[in-house]
Amino acid sequence: MYSEAEAVTMLEESVRTAPVIWKGEYPYFIHPLTDGVPRAPSDLLAAARDLLLHRIDWENIDLILSIEAMGLPLASVLSVATGIPTVVARKRSYGLDFETVVDQSTGYSKGSIWINDVNPQEKILVVDDVISTGGTMEAVLSSLEARGAILSEVWTIFEKGDGMKNLINKHNWPLKSLVRIEMNGAEVNILP
């Protein structure tokens, strides 16, 4: 296990040196834990896992929910470490009776997400890779609340821009991130 200082330093350095591409006027950092490329060294996933293992009140979690696709590796290692089951908010329907469709849009994409196997009063930990605009996260969290789930904790590895702050101000959800960043053109800056 990594110490808190070691883990934070590893994640900060990895995103600070990540390649940046432009999608129109939108600077987009490319990182192993948010995009699956370049290849993800296991130590980065271990660093994120170790930080979350120490920061989350695991006695208050019944289910870990991740959002397809890049939330899956994080949810998997947390599930193995804690023994808590996982479910995935998917980008496709299975047609199950208890499935809920969620329309979501972000600053750079639009689509639907399907949520299955979340029960009323279950205490949920939602984990994902990054929040930028907050569009996906807002749609998923709103749907979970509508199903009667309890949002115990919501964590992302990276927080980029004002999306998370806006969601907290609007909904008072328990959103937290491991590393806060801002884009300054093609440069990734770490925020306190």
- pLDDT (0 to 100) of residue 105: 62
Identify the band that residue 77 occupies on the pLDDT scale cut at 50, 70 and 90.
very high
The residue extents of the domains of the chain are: 4-191
Shortest CA distance to 127 belongs to which of 46, 65, 77?
A: 65
- Is the pLDDT at 108 greater than 60, yes or no? no
- pLDDT, residue 178, reads 98
Measured CA distances, 133 to 26, 43, 107, 112, 165 (Å): 11, 28, 6, 16, 10
Cα gap 65→63, rounded to integer Å: 6
User: CA-based angle 192:17:43, to the nearest 5?
Assistant: 85
Hey, what CATH topology would domain 4-191 get? Rossmann fold (3.40.50)
110: pLDDT confidence band, cut at 50, 70 and 90? confident
The model's pTM: 0.93
> pLDDT (tens digit, 9 = 90+) per residue, 2-31?
999 999 999 999 999 999 999 888 899 999
Strand duo 63-67 + 123-131: pairing: parallel
- pLDDT category at 130 given cuts 50, 70, 90 is very high
* Banded model confidence at residue 95, pLDDT cuts 50, 70, 90: confident
- pLDDT at residue 107, rounded to an integer: 56
Query: What's the burial of 149, exposed, middle or buried (CB within 10 Å: 0-12/13-18/19+)?
Result: buried
